[in-house]
Amino acid sequence: MSVGRVRLSVASLPAYRPGKSADQAEQEHGIGDAIKLASNENPYPPAPSVIEAVMGAVSGVNRYPDHLAVELRNAIAAWLGVTSEQVTVGCGSVGLLRQICMAYLDPGDEVVFPWLSFEAYPIAVQTMGAESVAVPLVNHRFDMDAVAAAVTERTKMVLLATPNNPTGTAVSSAAIATLVERIDDDVLVVVDEAYRELADPALGDPVTDLLPHHNNVVVFRTFSKAYGLAGLRSGYAIADPEVIVNLDKLLLPFTNNQLGQVAALAAIGAGDEIRPTLDLLIGERSRVVAALTESGWQLPDAQANFVYLPTGERTSEIYLRLEEQGVVTRPFPGEGIRVTIGSPSENDRFLRALTGVR
Ligand SMILES: *Cc1c(COP(=O)(O)O)cnc(C)c1O
């Protein structure tokens, strides 16, 4: 007998699996000194001015935060050159993903996305009783023709993670524009740019390239990855004001926590202070890609803060051999292994551990 009468679509959901922690791996294998390269976290703390702002705000947490995070919205709008009505803030971009699914999906509706992609997508879709339409990658990249062809009258939304998690490949705003022009304009096209700051700027900017021409384009961004604020949960969306109003109706009260708002504001205020960290991560990514390529790996283009090893059938075996050596990565069984770019010494450890495996 089960307790209560859980919704069918929830009962059949898999439990969310966050990346394994270093502590957990140490306990399981009886080792010390494990490192976690499993959750695409920034290995470095936020800018000093951001830390200072957060510390200064801690004593005020007896008060509820501003539910709508108005000051932060205004700052994001000014930063990006859009209006405040085009911006909303959520509990990370995954919070916004939940809100947009709640706002737009009825049971039986379809959501199209390339696959492999972000593991949160099918969960958010299924939660609403809607159906995921997964479009296979070709050579670890999006097949944008196939994505367009998969859109039917039942499609409410297309989800595009660029750079894609876990393969790291990206699509240009020009390629997204072509897709948008091929499908009905009442289908929302969500461009999830969690890793935007690490990608090649030549790919374009959906906010300036697409939003002025297509009111069905929604852009998700976050302070979690490049800005090193994953623990404070500040994500944001830029979209048509009508979409923003609907997302705001479903914002969990006060979920934009006070420290997250303060940190995001300070991160915007810090401007280029983040640049050296980004340059370091991008430089390390190039170094890791070069080392892997030299030892014979054929990798998809890496545009985010991780690399993707197409290990296929050997995925579980290679993942385990790395973990036994204290390097915790993220496996996608039967497909590949995603390895986050860490500090230079962590990246060296990963490269050394992998050499022994192959
Ligand atoms: C990490 C990640 C997110 C989550 O970002 P939060 O703002 O921390 O919720 C969203 N989308 C993709 C594709 C990601 O990889």
pLDDT at 227: 97
Q: Is 192 in the pocket of ligand 1 (CB under 6 A)?
A: yes
For the chain, residues classed under CATH 3.40.640.10 are: 48-268
Residues 97, 91: Cα–Cα separation, whole Å: 10
Residues 301, 140: Cα–Cα separation, whole Å: 9
Q: Is 216 in the pocket of ligand 1 (CB under 6 A)?
A: no
206 within 8 A of 80, measured Cβ to Cβ: no
For residue 347, the tally of other CB atoms under 10 A from its CB is 22
pLDDT at 70: 98
Q: Is 258 in the pocket of ligand 1 (CB under 6 A)?
A: no
Which atom of ligand 1 is least distant from the CA of 224?
Answer: 8
**Strands 188-192, 155-161: parallel, antiparallel or unpaired by DSSP?**
parallel
Distance 159 CA to ligand 1 centre (A): 13
In angstroms, the first-to-last Cα distance of the chain is: 48
Q: What is the mean pLDDT of each run of 10 residues along the chain (358 residues)?
A: 87 81 92 95 96 97 97 98 98 98 98 97 96 98 98 98 98 98 98 98 98 98 98 98 98 97 98 95 98 97 98 97 96 97 98 89
For the chain, residues classed under CATH 3.90.1150.10 are: 15-40+272-357
Q: What is the reported pTM? A: 0.97
Distance 93 CA to ligand 1 centre (A): 6
Residues 289, 183: Cα–Cα separation, whole Å: 36
Tokens of 88: 């909303």
Q: Is 303 in the pocket of ligand 1 (CB under 6 A)?
A: no
pLDDT at 15: 78
- Of the candidates 115, 202, 210, 95, the one whose C-alpha atom is nearest the C-alpha of residue 159 is 115
Q: Considering the domain 15-40+272-357, what is its CATH architecture?
A: Alpha-Beta Complex (3.90)
Mutate to test the pocket of ligand 1, among 39, 118, 229 (most ligand atoms within 8 A of CB): 118
Nearest CA to ligand 1 atom 9: 92
pLDDT at 321: 96
Residues 15, 244: Cα–Cα separation, whole Å: 29
Distance 222 CA to ligand 1 centre (A): 7
- Of the candidates 170, 240, 169, the one whose C-alpha atom is nearest the C-alpha of residue 205 is 170
- Of the candidates 49, 43, 47, 46, the one whose C-alpha atom is nearest the C-alpha of residue 280 is 43
pLDDT at 80: 98
Distance 17 CA to ligand 1 centre (A): 14
Q: Is 47 in the pocket of ligand 1 (CB under 6 A)?
A: no
Distance 129 CA to ligand 1 centre (A): 22
Distance 235 CA to ligand 1 centre (A): 8
Q: 336 forms bridges with which residues in the sheet?
A: 332
pLDDT at 334: 96
Return the CATH class of domain 48-268. alpha beta
Which atom of ligand 1 is least distant from the CA of 39?
Answer: 1
